[in-house]
Chains A and B, each alone.
Chain A
Amino acid sequence: MATREHFFETDVLVLGGGIAGLYAAIRSKSTPVDVILVDKAFPGRSGNSLYASGAICGYQPEDDDLTDYLIDDLRTCFFLDDQVQARKVIEEIYPCRKEMEDWGVDWVRDSEGKIVRKKGLGMLRSYNIHFSGGRRLMNVIRGEAIRRGTQILDRVMMTDLLLNRGEVVGAAGFHIRTGDFYCIKAKATIVATGVLDAKGGQPQWNLTGDGVAAALRLGAELRNMEQYDWTMGPAKHFDRSSGCHVLLGHGAHLVNGSQERFIHKYLDRFGYHADLGDRTPRNVFVYAIAQETAQGNGPIYIDCRHLPDDEIDSIKNSIPFLYNSWKKANLNLKKDLIEYTVLPHGSTATGGVRINEQAETTIPGLFCAGDAADRMWAGINGLTGAIVSGCWAAESAVKRAILPRNIEVDVEQVDAIKQKLYRPLLGGTLKTDDAIREVQKFLYQDIGIMRTAERLQRAVSNIQTFRSEVLPKLGASDYHDLAKALEVVNITDLIEVVALSSLFREETRYFNIREDYRGRDDEKWRKWVIAKKVGEEIELTAEQIPETFVKMDDLGL
């Protein structure tokens, strides 16, 4: 098979076909711009949004006080969110919810037809609304993007962003089946490639932070990378969703091997409210489960046996696939305990390309949305933020693209990308699956959940040695394998930033759980950790977090 080269030119280029990317495409296509959306897999069956267990922020202006939601958000993430962005996300999800309903998304309703509202993780005075899982949601969203005329390129992995005269002018990559080279010139580029993970956790295994890594290599600022996060999920019978917001929101309990509740033992470590019961922010129950298991009190279970029938029915409607896999395994929520374990996650906490409330990154021509961004809405939820930031990115991208603009790609740069891209196919002694196992150890064990300076330094050293001495030996057997090889390169680049950022933040805040700095240091560390590649080094700075609407003292933490 001979490989070909394909050149495209467009107004708005969207990298990534999860909900953030598709929503950005949908909104962009409400104007006359051309939009090309590129995905490594199949938009609509791609990204974490597919496994969303059915909850988005339920703010309703007629019933709720926005400040209640903002306070719940800031308490959950310990003030790490940018208040302007968080507030905007809460406010703007409501009109998005209305239009999604018009397109065909169903919210879970009670027997009287009223939309069910439940307090989710970390929520004292705010609510989520539920829908029947990510699959149906993504069918609707993909359909709407196509209906509006988005040009979709499947199975194309964009590996590099193109920079010319200090502006991003598009991206380049290859088709993971045919191997064809793709170069797309665009007036505005939106990175919506999702979260960083190392192919072993909850996020689907092609979420490897590709767009974030490309932005890092270009010199874009990243923020809050130390907040690489975890979740819990079914240990055995599952479909990749975890159902945390839904299950705990309906009143399920977490119990240990002796069938005792245990979350309350760990609230002090973080200083959260006992009123939340088991509905704590993810970092608390992750830490609690990890500690209980390490102390030999495992396994851990979700217990729904005390819930009334109408709650179980509502759960069934909100997480139908998960419910069905349990049913197939002869597990009945009313009678059986469901074993849960800790897993790497990615859609809650922050960490990614730094954006402002217009989804602008620190490089002109480059915008970012969804889990690839630094997610200044960590206390709300990932899906909600992905939808709204997709809208911000669309608006900014269109504003830029609607102007006549002469953009040129740097031909030498494109050539250099092409040469580097296919190199692993020339052979190598390191197999991609073995390389993946190595980076998994660095991320899941060396960095891990409960971190210390010693292990983090070891992580940095391991990663740097791996990159300089081992990674050059990486070989790929075909184009499918080449995609995996390039994913390992991206993971390596990003987990170094995670480890360095975590070392830099000498306190425990949200998912930066430092066993050697056990407290929260608001005086010294009410700051964001910014990371930027300068030459071959990662430069880290700390930036004071502004108290725009709510003061830290008002949170009662």
Chain B
Amino acid sequence: MPFKKVLKYRCTGCGTCVDTCPVDVLRLGPDGKSYAAYPKDCMSCFMCTTDCPMDAIEITLFKRRRTPFLPTLEFNKTDA
């Protein structure tokens, strides 16, 4: 899964990632810091990592796309 984690020791709870994630993965938790409420929805667009002022988010860089599109190929799952 591409979404790894929020580094709690760096996160200041500014909410930038929560505001901007296009697919609503992130929310602010009861500890005032952000967390991935819906990690499976992450599409590894890197908006959160680039917008985070504290560099507090880790997304895996290496993600093989699923390739179900060619009619002769099997419908593969992503592995990330």
Spell out A's residues near B (CB within 8 Å): 41-42, 44-46, 50-51, 135, 154-155, 176-177, 200-201, 204-206, 230, 233, 235-240, 290, 293-294, 321, 325, 328-329, 341-344, 433, 440-441, 444-445, 448-450, 455, 480, 483-484
Contacts and interface: CB of A to CB of B under 8 A. Distances in A.
B50 A42 contact: no
Contacts of B47: 45, 50, 135
Given A42-B20, A343-B65, A240 B43 contact: yes
Nearest to B62: A236
B6 to A, nearest CB: 18
Contacts of A154: 19
Contacts of A445: 68-69, 71, 75
18 contacts: A41-B20, A45-B47, A50-B22, A204-B43, A206-B23, A236-B62, A237-B61, A240-B44, A290-B70, A325-B61, A329-B62, A441-B75, A444-B69, A445-B68, A448-B69, A449-B69, A449-B70, A480-B24
**Can you list the 7 inter-chain pairs with the closest CB atoms, starting with the nearest?**
A45-B20, A41-B22, A294-B72, A444-B69, A205-B43, A42-B20, A239-B46
Contacts of B61: 237, 325, 328-329
B3 to A, nearest CB: 13
Contact of B67 (A238, A341, A483): A341
A46 B65 contact: no
A447 B45 CA distance: 26
Interface string B16-27: 000111111001
A51 B75 contact: no
B1 interface: no
Nearest to A154: B19
B24 A343 contact: no
B50 A135 contact: yes
A479 B23 CA distance: 13
Contacts of A293: 70, 73
Residue among B41, B61, B62, B70 with the most chain A CB within 10 A? B70
Interface string B41-63: 10111110011000000000111
B60 to A, nearest CB: 10
A441 B44 CA distance: 22
B37 interface: yes
Contact of A45 (B22, B67, B70): B22
A116 B76 CA distance: 40
Given A455-B71, A480-B24, 17 more contacts: A42-B21, A45-B21, A51-B45, A201-B69, A236-B64, A237-B61, A237-B62, A240-B46, A294-B71, A294-B72, A321-B46, A328-B61, A329-B62, A343-B65, A450-B71, A480-B37, A484-B41
Interface of B: 19-24, 27, 37-38, 40-41, 43-47, 50-51, 61-73, 75
A240 B2 CA distance: 13
Q: Is the interface of B mostly helix, strand, loop or mixed?
A: loop
A204 B71 contact: no
A294 B66 contact: no
Nearest to A286: B69
A241 B25 CA distance: 20
A449 B20 CA distance: 33
A450 B73 CA distance: 13
Given A206-B23, A321-B50, A433-B40, A200 B66 contact: yes
Nearest to B19: A42
Contacts of B69: 201, 230, 290, 342-344, 444-445, 448-449
Contact of B45 (A204, A441, A483): A204
A540 B31 CA distance: 56
A440 B66 CA distance: 11
Contact of B22 (A42, A433, A444): A42
Contacts of A325: 46, 61
A41 B51 CA distance: 15
A202 to B, nearest CB: 9
B38 A480 contact: yes
A294 B37 CA distance: 39
Contacts of A240: 43-46
B59 to A, nearest CB: 10
A245 to B, nearest CB: 20
A528 B38 CA distance: 41
A506 B66 CA distance: 30
Interface centre among B24, B41, B50 (most CB of A within 10 A): B24
B66 to A, nearest CB: 7
Contacts of B43: 204-205, 240
Given A42-B19, A321-B46, A205 B24 contact: no
B23 A204 contact: yes
Contacts of A204: 22-23, 43, 45
Contacts of B50: 135, 321
A344 B68 CA distance: 10
B65 A41 contact: no
Nearest to A139: B51
Contacts of B37: 480
B72 A41 contact: no
Contact of B23 (A50, A205, A328, A444): A205
A201 B35 CA distance: 25
A266 to B, nearest CB: 15
Contacts of A201: 69
Contacts of B68: 200, 440-441, 444-445
B48 to A, nearest CB: 9
A177 B21 CA distance: 13
